[in-house]
Structure 1
């Protein structure tokens, strides 16, 4: 009876040895993995991965609002406006349209006040004039073009946008791309604006320039 017992013991030892060799040879989990600095690095990397508001590359200071916006892409994809990590206008929300898409936000609290879109190809420009004239002080204005922002753009509308801080309002034309953030009581031209002229030699799409993307941090208005 002792021989079978001995054989079983030898077999068990053999299995244990093979198992240890297998673990040592085919897994990367060894004592180096347990070193404290490796674990510290992993934790540090986890802490570094922090999602900023609206997906910005850098976070905004406490007294700033985060925003990110895209103009429309040709006449196919509508614009997208994000403010303080909230999607306020987009094709998904089904609240954008051809022409100019405009959102008004409280410059102190960041609260959404009003949003609308104005057809600048076949619409009545008088409705946009009225909208712009009624913007009160202390309000942030976000503007994104889609398809055609310029056909019905008259001198009065250009002047109103210029007063909001736009430096390109006087140049907006047929099928141009434009994104802009301004304010009623701004003292100088806004630093948050991009503009691209519709030009057949440089257009990305057939008949339209490429989509524009603008992001940044807007200072909160403190009274």
Structure 2
């Protein structure tokens, strides 16, 4: 008789988050049919199963105080001019919000300066380094500081032959636990 199967943790973490924390996982897309995902507190905010993931930059906004989803939307950065609407969406996030951003397919081709500045203002160090089909994930806060030590951003440009999806950079992810604010 083998060991019992491990208990499933929120957002498929290997270990559970401590009490009074939020669990999250951000996963970029990694191929035509390998869609991006944003999970928060075991709820899929953006993904294939929710039907709200798309090519470009996918963003979810969550109220930090309540843990409730405020909005989730994707902005196609390959076709059309969606940089302006995305900038408005980001700037419209209320204070005390968590913002989760992930790319699927291409998040850079039509990414304009106003959008780059808005994302930089939230603390991104990689937004200007994105290339065609870069895999990118970014976690940030608006109106407060995230605790030190939380991984906030990851990027991958390489689309070498070793990747699982030819012509695409391998997906990247960050996951962890964010302390809830003390009441």
Shorter-normalised TM range = 0.7 to 0.9
* Aligned 8 A contact 1:67 1:215 in 2: yes
Whole-angstrom CA distance in 2 between matches of 1:213 and 1:81:
10
Cα RMSD of the aligned pairs, angstroms, is 2.4
Aligned-residue offset at 1:212: 1.4
Q: Deviations over 1:9-51 (max 9, x none)?
A: xxxxxxxxxxxxxxxxxxxxxxxxxxxxxxxxx9xx76x9433
Establish whether residue 193 from structure 1 lines up as the match of residue 153 from structure 2: yes
Alignment match of 1:145 (pick from 95, 103, 115):
103
Question: Please, what TM-score do these two structures have when normalized by structure 1?
Answer: 0.72
Establish whether residue 93 from structure 1 lines up as the match of residue 53 from structure 2: no
Whole-angstrom CA distance in 1 between matches of 2:41 and 2:52:
18
* Aligned 8 A contact 1:101 1:118 in 2: yes
Q: Show structure 1 runs of 5+ residues with no match.
A: 1-41
Establish whether residue 217 from structure 1 lines up as the match of residue 177 from structure 2: yes
Name the residue aligned to 2:12: 55
* Aligned 8 A contact 1:163 1:184 in 2: no
Q: Which protein has the bigger helix share?
A: 1
Name the residue aligned to 1:83: 40
The count of aligned residue pairs is 179
Name the residue aligned to 2:65: 108
Question: Please, what TM-score do these two structures have when normalized by structure 2?
Answer: 0.86
Q: Using CA pairs below 8 Å that are at least 6 residues apart, which structure has the higher relative contact order? A: 2
* Aligned 8 A contact 1:105 1:139 in 2: yes
Aligned-residue offset at 1:191: 2.4
Q: Which protein has the bigger strand share?
A: 2
Alignment match of 2:165 (pick from 205, 213, 223):
205
Larger Rg over CA atoms: 1
* Aligned 8 A contact 1:180 1:192 in 2: yes
Establish whether residue 65 from structure 1 lines up as the match of residue 22 from structure 2: yes
CA gap 1:150/1:54 in 2 versus in 1, 3 angstroms: same
Q: Show structure 2 runs of 5+ residues with no match.
A: none
Q: Deviations over 1:169-203 (max 9, x none)?
A: 12122110001111113548962221111455775
* Alignment of structure 1 residues 154-173 onto 2, 5 Å: 154-173=112-131
Alignment match of 1:178 (pick from 124, 131, 136):
136
